[in-house]
A and B are shown apart, each in its own frame.
Chain A
Amino acid sequence: MSEKHRADEADRRRRTTDGVASETVNPEQPDAVEVFPEGEFDLRPGADDCYKCTTCETSCPVAAVDKSFPGPKFQGPEQWRLKRKDEIEIDPSISECSNCLRCDTSCPSGVNLAQMHNTARGEYVDNQLSTFSIKYVRNRILANYRTSARLASMFPRTANFVMNFKPVRWAMEKILHVPSERDFPEFATQTFREWWSERGGAQVTNPDKQVAYFHGCYANYNTTEVAKAMVRLYEYFGYEILVPPQKCSGTPMFANGMLDDARRHAETNVENLAAVIEDGADVIASCTSCSMALRNEYPELFDIDGIETLAKNTFDALEYLRIHEDLHGAIQDASVSGEFAEEFAYHAPCHSRNQGLDRQAIELFRDLDGVQIEDVGDSCSGISGTYGWKEEKYEKSMKIGAEMFEHMEAAEGTTGMTECPTCGMQMEHGTGYDVHHPLEVLEAAFVD
């Protein structure tokens, strides 16, 4: 008989600084725990864990291209130590941080840099950035991509034309500071959800194997082929798929310090997803930033009923199959021909690293007939969601991406692969390669 042993202390630390919503702490009430003014998070344990080993600094892609960026150790533990003593404002350099979270992934001491950056950014935007400034407006528009995308997808053809129409782009650059070099992503003529209801929802019913799909905005409005591939793949493996109502994961909002917006969306997501988990389903996502938000940022930043349950039961779509199916065995007997029989230059998104997903595509496809795959290394693509969509960050974003572009060009294949839609945009933008999602290749391997 096997016995299970769970280490007592082993790396619980990263989870010990549970999020406390600002609303739950009342500064008027004497017995409220008030470590920072206005009911801030207690990040002290994290700050104290920092032993200044500088590993995070060597991992930060922004510090490597921006001489004035003080780096993650400053943004995180040092700023928190400073703040503990005085009424010090958040250093504006926090808005130069791209939220790639490579620092968080690297820290040997488990310092919760992601949470520190997110809260600092939130505080900076709330208290120090004027809501009338053009940048604030622009950031808010970028952060609320879902709103724009919803409108655009009502008239996708017009939107595709207008968004990339020169005079419009010129005006956007001048007024909103959105760089004209970037091509706007194309909107699908039919959203994923429209497709889903048109096909009559799930084609497989299986009360024992249910997954709820968190498609996020991008797979719904833009890369619907990824969402469809995922559906067919999961049905091939006998899963019943649920598509509960949902909003934006919040990732672009965290990255722009708009925690209130993020919280509103999170509430809907937690409510709907926790309900299906209650009924026995697990949650899967095809975008690594979405899964990251649900698993990591939600419980760190908000206190919503069911948020822990959601975090514990959310998986990346590929990861979930690896854990529950003998995917590796199945791959040995499968092969790919046609459109996806390619040599891929694979880039692991930063947010996949944080979840331990950065090598799974390489591991799987290495053994798949008809496909070749090469890891283009651990550099950051530089776009970091909305970051590279800001005029003042565009150059920095391309400079960070340069290493990835070089490595892609040095790779054998001329087709890109990644899980993250914005990394994919950057890869296409920098190399001109088509970029695909691993789920599309898996579909090609298993589903006729």
Chain B
Amino acid sequence: MAIESDVLVVGGGLAGVASAVVAAREGVDVRLLAHKKSTLRQASGLIDGLGYVPPRTPLEKHADYVSQQRRDFREVRDKRGDYLGPLQTPYEGIDTLPDDHPYSILGADALRDGLALFDDLVGDTYLGSHTERNALVPTFGGTVKPTARYPRAAAAGLASDERPMLLVGFRSLTEFDAGMVADQLAAAGVPFDVRGVEVSFAESFPTDTKITRFVKAFDHDERIKGIPVRRALAEVVKPYVDDAKRVGFPAVLGDDNAASVRTDLGDRLGADIFEIPMGPPSIPGLRLEDRLFETLDAEGVRLETGVPAVGYEKDGDTVESVIVDRMGSEVPYAADTVVLATGGLVGKGLDSDREGVREPIFGCHVPYPEDRYDWFVDDAFGDQPYARFGVHPDASMRPLDADGEPEFANLFAAGSVVGGADVAREKSASGVSLATGVVAGRNAAIESRKRIERVEASS
């Protein structure tokens, strides 16, 4: 078996990267395998720790919650109960989370370690590490979101800042409605004046022009109809700036040269420039992905993308290798320990159909209600059982079987493949990935060192 490593991480999202780096820093040889692009490409680029503790409905109560013949949606919503939050710090709500939540299993320090690792990897491209408090970042839906770390590009937009704000949308970019966002923010009672304006910009771009086209144009200050885009944009926005001290745009302001795009526009408009994180396709998420993958090289992690893990070979309770499907031929990748960081239902780390929910590579135990109608509730924003599906780990992040014993002695899990958290309602997705990633990576490295020592001792 020629392809081997001490630790093999399966999955190339935030959790996979975090565990790979932590393991590599423990001094072992790490390989990261990722089949496809991760959800970083879709995520806002904000690093949420814990923003809310949503109410939970005990499973038995779901029965009357779920009803095909409900009459009034308000009735459903009223039953939702109270959210705790927005939380001042991501740590303050951890005590009130249920026992099976990864934060409850690992403790607040895991989240601290995860965020510290993140800070170290992204350097000055992200802010928020100066305080334990959550930052309040306006979103493209017009809400204000509590988050632990935010890109530098979003900094001037914080809702705790009292300077007057102008939001700018482009008529040619329908994804972002500046007027709506401004109205929503004002209605939410933000402590500053906010106005929204739609300008004619890049009108020669057809409406289905891809966002990456805008990004490229800003990055290289391309000319549209003879005028460099940055200047063209500044000219149409200028008349609206008035007393605004900060101007926000949809997050399309460049990629490699994003900082200089903001400086350039800021100089021309006499205001601080910021971006509002967008839904998919997310440029801040793409920038973060680039940044994280660059660090893998520096950390000495071997990286392999484009091919999936499809099975494993074991000896007793030990995974000996992960089987990788290399274009139809199955190649075993040997490793002392393995980290499963394949994502949730979205990332393909969990698979579901009418029959049930599975973790497809190792077949790890995933608890779920017998009756498929208990997987969902009517209230789209309610306590959805499926949101918390995933493997259940012990405190070292080893997935447990139905009897509560580790599935394997040398398999660890991290990120959305781990169940117990309702990351969308809690605003905790990246925090859970980082916290579980750090613990899984560390333990995978320690366990692999033990195994190496054992082999050395016996020979």
Contact = CB atoms under 8 A, between A and B. Distances in A.
Interface string B319-331: 0100111111111
B310 A358 contact: no
B297 A375 contact: yes
B346 interface: yes
B348 interface: yes
B455 interface: no
Interface string B201-226: 00011101111110110001000000
Contact of A315 (B37, B209, B281, B329): B329
Interface in B325-371: 325-331, 346-348, 351, 358, 360-363
- Residue in B205, B307, B315, B327 with the greatest tally of chain A CB atoms within 10 Å: B327
A55 B289 CA distance: 12
A447 interface: no
Given A108-B347, A355-B326, A5 B312 contact: yes
Given A108-B39, A327-B2, A356 B326 contact: yes
Interface stretch (A65-73, A116-124, A220-228): A65-73
Contacts, number: 166
Interface stretch (B67-75, B120-128, B298-306, B431-439): B298-306
Contacts of A362: 297
Interface string A356-397: 111110110000000000010000000000000000000000
Nearest to A72: B210
Contacts of B304: 356, 359-360, 363
A234 B305 CA distance: 26
Interface residues on A, range: 35 or more
A322 interface: yes
B38 A108 contact: yes
Contacts of B211: 57-58
Contacts of A15: 328
B358 to A, nearest CB: 8
A375 B2 CA distance: 23
A425 B305 CA distance: 25
A57 B2 CA distance: 36
A368 B363 CA distance: 39
A359 B210 contact: no
B206 A68 contact: yes
B238 interface: no
A58 B323 contact: no
Contact of B305 (A59, A325, A353): A353
A223 to B, nearest CB: 24
A85 interface: no
Contacts of B210: 57, 60, 63-64, 69, 71
A5 B313 contact: yes
A328 B5 CA distance: 11
A356 B2 contact: no
A2 B315 contact: yes
Contacts of A69: 210
Contacts of A106: 36-37, 41
Contacts of A66: 213
A9 B347 CA distance: 15
A328 B185 CA distance: 57
A7 B314 contact: no
A72 to B, nearest CB: 10
A240 B163 CA distance: 74
Nearest to B325: A11
B286 A58 contact: yes
B37 A353 contact: no
Contacts of A296: 327
A392 to B, nearest CB: 18
A205 to B, nearest CB: 24
Contacts of A358: 305-306
B37 A55 contact: yes
Interface in A1-48: 1-11, 15
Interface of A: 1-11, 15, 53-55, 57-60, 63-71, 74, 105-110, 295-296, 308, 311-315, 319, 322-328, 353-360, 362-363, 375, 402-403
Interface of B: 2-3, 35-39, 41-42, 204-206, 208-213, 215-216, 220, 256, 280-281, 283, 286, 297, 302-315, 320, 323-331, 346-348, 351, 358, 360-363
25 contacts: A1-B315, A5-B363, A8-B360, A53-B280, A55-B37, A55-B42, A55-B281, A57-B211, A58-B211, A64-B215, A65-B216, A68-B206, A71-B210, A106-B37, A107-B36, A110-B348, A314-B327, A315-B329, A355-B326, A355-B327, A356-B324, A356-B327, A360-B304, A363-B302, A363-B303
